[in-house]
Structure 1
Amino acid sequence: MLTSTVCAAVSAAGLGIAALTAYRKRFLAATRIAAFSLIPIGLVMTGVIDWVTNIVFKPTVWAGFGVLALSFVLFSVSRVVERRRGGIGSRKERKAAAAATPDAVAPAASVPSLGAGRGAGRPAAKGKTGQGKGGAPKDDFSDIEAILKKHGI
């Protein structure tokens, strides 16, 4: 009831100021003032003011907002701490998981096919035999190193 009276008084004062502004021949400003002054009485008529006052003046509602704020703060702090420590999904964990991953079941199974394919499809580069000590294929990075040296990198 009190809120309805206050809103009606604010609207009446706003309309009075709009009338004075219109009297001074500032019609555009008077129209804006009148529009803003009608908002409080419109809110009272639609029932929004009663709903807002029920929210504002109930302690349980404020306690609920406090609990929500506390929840948000705790969540944010936990995320910050997790990132600083390198928590779930961090680089350290991913590297450790990659290192712990077992190699292929039979890593030597593809060696003959690579050796045969290299010699049959294209000739070996100058000065390279394709075989290192003991008959094992040379390091694959040697080709890349040669290309980088050629370009001065």
Structure 2
Amino acid sequence: LEGKTIAAPLALAFPILESVVLEEDELLQNLWANLLVTATDPARQAEVKRGFIHLIRQLDPIDAAVVKLLYRTYVDKLVLRNQGKHAAGDGFFHPRNAAIPGSTAQKTLGIPAMIAELALENLCRLGLANTLADISGQQVSLSVLGLKLMDACAGASPSP
């Protein structure tokens, strides 16, 4: 964090602290901790929505790994886009433009196909990811809600 911090509203701080203390998975602990950091940053506090707490509570560690993979893919494609002929201010880069094949999560994370499918279904149920089928098979991307959640949980380095 650069500069000052402010107290997070109690309605956000208490459930986040409660959840991070009870969480055993390191990736989920990091999501909680970074969400709290964002809530104490005066320039970014408005990014933290109360609903994010309920969404993270419904993630299993595998779900968190998959949504992180989708977010990392989005950020990587956004960086490439901004380095190319387009300027960074050329408008919103929709997460669906960073879709990956549905099998990527399974292969990248080294998890069974059924576990990956369940994680994707849970992320879609929560509205954090979208799937679409095309001629090349199932494609998966973050939703705008998923993007904003992960931006808020990215600590000091949200998507550009």
| TM bucket, shorter chain | under 0.3
For the pair shown, the structure with the greater C-alpha radius of gyration is 1
Specify which structure has the bigger relative contact order, considering alpha-carbon pairs within 8 angstroms and separated by 6 or more residues: 2
Q: Normalization by structure 1: what TM-score?
A: 0.20
TM-score (norm 2): 0.19
